[in-house]
Amino acid sequence: MNQTLNLSAGPHVRDRWSTAFIMRMVLLALMPATVIGIYTFGLKALWVVLVSVVSAVGTEFLFDKLTGRPDTWKDGSAALTGLLLALTLSASTPLYAPLIGSIFAILVVKCAFGGLGKNFINPALAARCFLLISFPNAMTIYSLDGVASATPCAELAAGRVVNLTSMFLGTANGVIGGSILGLLIGGLALWAFDIIHGQICFTVLGAFTVFMGLFGGKGFDPGFLAAHLCGGGVVLGAFFMATDYVTSPMSRLGQTFYGLLIGVLGAVFRIWGAAADSFSYSIITANLFTPFIDTYIVDLPFAYRRRAVERRAPGWVKKPLLKSIPKPVIALTVIALLAGLALSGAYSLTKDSIDAQKAAAAAAAYKTVLPEAESFEPMTAQVEALEGQVYGSGFGRVYINEAMAGKDAAGNVVGYAVSVTSAEGYDGNVTLSLGVSADGTINGVSFTELHETPGKGMLWAEEENLSRFAGKSASKLTLGTDIDAITSVTVTSKAVVNAVNAGLDFINTQLRGE
């Protein structure tokens, strides 16, 4: 036997699981949700997924080649980042979004910090937030079967009723990875195979639910809580984003704390902030706390835990125990709580003045659309009769908020003003005030809520476009014939005209008759 023998320090065997194997398992676990997403949203979703995954892997490949680093693009983590990003996007997102997002995630968030294992926030979520900030409008087009509409989560935020079953199955409008069923299959499998830590995902869900129950305004109403859990990426976040190894703490106590932070922040952001993206921001915020948590919260070795020390008979030297909870952790908790309280406190302190301002704005709007009137008298009975349901049929999802009878100095009715909201704007709600003279002709239109694409949907707010409505007296306006549409602003135009028509209809049938 003369051949050379390998020399190395032990142990000399290794487990079958490698980094690449774990990444593949997570990819596999995401498949149910991906497949359901593609089934629901069609080929468009497949394209978003493909563009995202391919550009993520491609970016890492190029980075490896150009910098002469080892071939890390093969380990599956880039593909995972790409897929996760795609699942947080709408199928209607223009394809440049997943492309730019994946490049940002891999190049800036991951590779620039040293590659897998060295990134300090979740690359997929960072990319999503980057896209949300860079392309706020392109990122928020949600359409299903060619019909643009608000997501269940946005409707929930507006206090409306949502269809839980379709949310659970993933057939509701929303992001590609919206199928709670698919996510739960994958997520629970990962947990069962010990790939993700139960103390993170279940703490996130638990803390979120409890906080929503306490401060969500609806108490512990099962339907309300279930709807919130099913919407806005809570499940995707809890099982696949929060549990990302690199950006979550190591110790059990630390992981629980981290889970609490995400759950509570997610609920705080959802109740008092932008509903749809609350979880992205809460997880990224918690990611930033991870190094801090890992520094201060470390699980004690078995031999130093209180139980073990007590078990060893007395008389032996007692090693110092965990000095209860480290001070920085207490400080962190207090800061997090204070921030939450400050948010809610500021909200309630300013609520009255916000309401007053809103009322003033509304009054001003009514005055604009019905200048002849000296005073406005609310017509609450007719509005309340609608019970907050979608108004009429053929107007899409339109709601009547308020109705006023405008009177002159002598007290005669000179016209009516209504506030109407269409939930089918390009970017959420479009709310306008509509003034109609006593003879039934439109006096004026004014927007109280319009956040559409600048240069496109926002054009409706301009004087010349608004004035298109004035003087019309048809009981129902048709886009294109009665009212000129603004070129390539289809969605907003439709919503605006629908809202005006609904308002007209309401005034004609419910108010003027009296």
Partner 1 sequence: MNVTFRGGVHPKGRKELSREAPLRRFDPEPCEMVFPLAQHIGKPAKAIVKKNDPVLVGQKLADADGFVSACVISSCSGTVKAVEKRRTIAGTMTECVVVDNDGKYSPVEGLGERQELSGLTNQDILDRVKNAGIIGLGGAGFPTHVKLAPKAPDKIKYLIANGAECEPYITCNDQLMRSQAAGIVEGLEIALRLYPNAECVIGVEDNKPEAIASMRKAVEGKKRMRVLPLHTKYPQGGERSLIRVIAGVDFPVSMLPADVGCIVLNVGTAYAIGRAVAWNEPLYAHVLTVTGEAVREPGNFIARDGTSFAQLLEACGGVKEGVTPAKALSGGPMMGVAVGSLEVPIQKNTNALTLLAEDPLEKAEKQMTFCLHCGRCSTVCPNGLVPALMADAIDMKNWERYEKKLYGLDCIACGCCTYICPAKRPLTQMFKQTKAEIMARKRAAQAGGKK
Interaction of residue 44 with partner 1, rule CB under 8 A:
no
| Candidate segments 217-225, 306-314, 378-386, 463-471, binder of partner 1 by CB under 8 A | 306-314
Among 72, 278, 382, 433, binds partner 1 (CB under 8 A): 72
Among 39, 47, 120, 245, binds partner 1 (CB under 8 A): 245
Q: Which amino acid is at 474?
A: A
Cα(first)–Cα(last) distance of the chain, in Å? 110
SS3 360: helix
Interaction of residue 67 with partner 1, rule CB under 8 A:
no
| Chain mean position to CA 292 | 27
Interaction of residue 17 with partner 1, rule CB under 8 A:
yes
Among 43, 66, 303, 410, binds partner 1 (CB under 8 A): 303
Choice between 215 and 245, CB closer to partner 1: 245
Q: How far is the CB of 10 from partner 1 (least distance, A)?
A: 6
Choice between 308 and 342, CB closer to partner 1: 308
Choice between 199 and 433, CB closer to partner 1: 199
- Assess whether the previous peptide bond of 326 is cis (omega < 30° from 0): no
Interaction of residue 316 with partner 1, rule CB under 8 A:
yes
Q: How far is the CB of 309 from partner 1 (least distance, A)?
A: 9
Q: How far is the CB of 495 from partner 1 (least distance, A)?
A: 47
Measured CA to CA, the distance from residue 502 to residue 387 in angstroms comes to 16
Interaction of residue 318 with partner 1, rule CB under 8 A:
no
Measured CA to CA, the distance from residue 88 to residue 277 in angstroms comes to 10
Q: How far is the CB of 48 from partner 1 (least distance, A)?
A: 27
Interaction of residue 116 with partner 1, rule CB under 8 A:
yes
Q: How far is the CB of 124 from partner 1 (least distance, A)?
A: 15
Interaction of residue 248 with partner 1, rule CB under 8 A:
yes
Neighbours of 448 (CB within 10 A): 18
Report the sign of the C-alpha dihedral through residues 452, 454, 456, 460, in that order: positive
Site string for partner 1, 188-207 (x = CB under 8 A): ------x--x----------
Beta strands 428-437 and 413-425 are antiparallel
Measured CA to CA, the distance from residue 44 to residue 462 in angstroms comes to 34
Among 65, 218, 312, 327, binds partner 1 (CB under 8 A): 312
Interaction of residue 274 with partner 1, rule CB under 8 A:
no
- Rg (C-alpha) for the chain, rounded Å, is 28
| Candidate segments 15-23, 430-438, 482-490, 505-513, binder of partner 1 by CB under 8 A | 15-23
| Candidate segments 206-214, 230-238, 297-305, 417-425, binder of partner 1 by CB under 8 A | 297-305
Q: How far is the CB of 314 from partner 1 (least distance, A)?
A: 12
Side-chain-side CA neighbours of 157 within 13 Å: the count stands at 21
Among 37, 115, 123, 435, binds partner 1 (CB under 8 A): 115
Interaction of residue 19 with partner 1, rule CB under 8 A:
yes
Choice between 203 and 443, CB closer to partner 1: 203
Choice between 165 and 295, CB closer to partner 1: 295
Measured CA to CA, the distance from residue 347 to residue 354 in angstroms comes to 9
| Candidate segments 52-60, 222-230, 241-249, 355-363, binder of partner 1 by CB under 8 A | 241-249
Measured CA to CA, the distance from residue 446 to residue 363 in angstroms comes to 11
Interaction of residue 75 with partner 1, rule CB under 8 A:
yes
Size of the residue set binding partner 1 (CB under 8 A): 49
Measured CA to CA, the distance from residue 478 to residue 40 in angstroms comes to 32
Measured CA to CA, the distance from residue 405 to residue 366 in angstroms comes to 10
According to DSSP H, which parts of 88-197 are helical? 96-103, 123-134, 152-157, 164-169, 180-192
Among 300, 329, 474, 485, binds partner 1 (CB under 8 A): 300
Q: Is 514 exposed, middle or buried (0-12, 13-18, 19+ CB in 10 A)?
A: exposed
What are the E-state strand segments in 122-263? Answer: 143-144, 147-148
Contacts of 386 (CB under 8 A, 6+ apart): 399, 400
Q: What are the φ and ψ backbone dihedral angles of 314, each rounded to 5 degrees? A: -65, 160
Measured CA to CA, the distance from residue 221 to residue 502 in angstroms comes to 33
Site string for partner 1, 418-457 (x = CB under 8 A): ----------------------------------------
Interaction of residue 299 with partner 1, rule CB under 8 A:
yes
Spatial contact of 101 and 135, defined as CB atoms under 8 Å apart: no
Q: How far is CA 365 from each of CA 420, 444, 510, rounded to the nearest angstrom?
A: 12, 10, 21
Q: How far is the CB of 70 from partner 1 (least distance, A)?
A: 9
Measured CA to CA, the distance from residue 95 to residue 131 in angstroms comes to 12
Interaction of residue 68 with partner 1, rule CB under 8 A:
no
Q: How far is the CB of 484 from partner 1 (least distance, A)?
A: 59
Interaction of residue 13 with partner 1, rule CB under 8 A:
yes
SS3 67: helix
Q: Where on the chain is the footprint of partner 1 (CB under 8 A)?
A: 1, 3, 5-15, 17-22, 72, 75, 114-118, 194, 197, 245-246, 248, 250-251, 294, 298-305, 308, 311-313, 316-317, 319
